[in-house]
Chain A
Amino acid sequence: MFGPVLWRFGGARDPLREIQRLQREMNQIFSGLDQPLSQEVPPVNAWVGEGDVIVTAELPGMDTGNTDISVVGDTLTISGSRKAEALKEGESYHRQERSHGQFKRTLQLPFRVEADKVEATYEKGILRLTLPRAEADKPRKISVRSE
C-alpha cells in the first residue's frame, strides 16, 4: 500500500505537494481498481551506488520505439505513451483498468550523470536505466602529504 517510500525528490521543499500526494495515496487505497490510475506514471525505484545510479520503472506493454529517455545534468526525463487496445467493430470492453496514454516523468538524480554512457534495457515490462556518475562530479580524494 504505502510501500517503502523513503523520501521523494524535492518533496521536502514543497509541503503542498506532499499533502496532495498523501491525498492521492489515501484515495487510491479506498478507491479500488475501477478508478483511473491516479498515481504518477510510471512508478520508479532508484538505487544509488558509488559510481552510478540505477533507476527502474514499471512500464508493462510499452512500445520501446515510442519511449524517450533524456538526461541533462542531473535531471532524468522518461516519456512515452501506451496505446489502448484498438477495438474492432462488434467488440466491447467488459472492464478497462489498465492505464494508457501519454506519460512523462522527470526525476532529479542525486548527482550529475554521464549522459553518453547511460544504459537502458527493457525486459519483462520493466525499464532499467544505469546512469554512471559524471567524472567531474565524482568526489575527489585529497591525499595529505607531510612535509
Chain B
Amino acid sequence: MMEDNVTYRRDPARSPVETERTRNRRVYVPKADIIETGNSMVLYADMPGADEKSVDVTIEKNILTISAMVTPREAEGRSMFYAEYDIGDYERAFTISDEVDRDRIDAVVKNGVLKLTLHKMPQAEARKITVRTE
C-alpha cells in the first residue's frame, strides 16, 4: 500500500545543480596549518581515522583538494553509551598560486595527520620584471 503524498513527493533540484557524493556520509572540514617556508609551502591537516590508502590529494588548475574516506571501526558486541565526536569523511579545497610546482608535491600521512609539501617553482622565485622608463 502506497501513500499518495509519499509517492508523488519530489524534491526540486537546486539551480545550478549541486553535486553530491555517492556515499551518504557526513563530510568534515579538516583543520589545517599552512606554513610558508623559503622555497615551499607545508600543509598539515588533522584527519584522525584516515591513513595513506584513504587519503586523496588532487590538483586541478589552481584548486588543491584533499579528501579522505574513513571507515569507522565498530566495537562488536558493545553498545555506544557516550559520544562526543562523529565519524565521517574529510574534504577541503584550497586555491594555490601558480608558483607551486604541480609535479613536486609530497604527501605523507602519519598518525592521522596529512603533511603536504608544495614546492615552489625555481623560476618563480627569480622572476622579476624590471620597470624601465622610456
A91 close to chain B: CB less than 8 A: yes
Residue-wise interface mask of B (26-41) relative to A, using a CB-CB cutoff of 8 A (1 in contact, 0 not): 0001011111111001
Q: A62 to B111: give the CA distance in the assembly, Å.
A: 7
B66 close to chain A: CB less than 8 A: no
Chain A nearest CB from B83 CB (Å) reads: 5
B110 close to chain A: CB less than 8 A: yes
Q: Is the pair A93, B34 in contact by a Cβ cutoff of 8 Å?
A: yes
A-B contact count (CB 8 A): 129
Of B29, B44, B86, the contact of A85 (CB 8 Å cutoff): B44
Report which B residues bind A (CB closer than 8 A).
29, 31-38, 41-42, 44, 46-51, 73, 75, 77-86, 110-113
17 contacts between A and B (CB under 8 A): A3-B84, A4-B80, A6-B82, A33-B31, A44-B82, A45-B80, A47-B79, A59-B48, A61-B110, A61-B113, A90-B37, A94-B41, A95-B32, A96-B33, A97-B32, A110-B81, A125-B46
Report which A residues bind B (CB closer than 8 A).
3-9, 33, 37, 39-40, 43-50, 52-54, 56, 58-62, 84-85, 87-88, 90-99, 110, 122, 124-126, 128
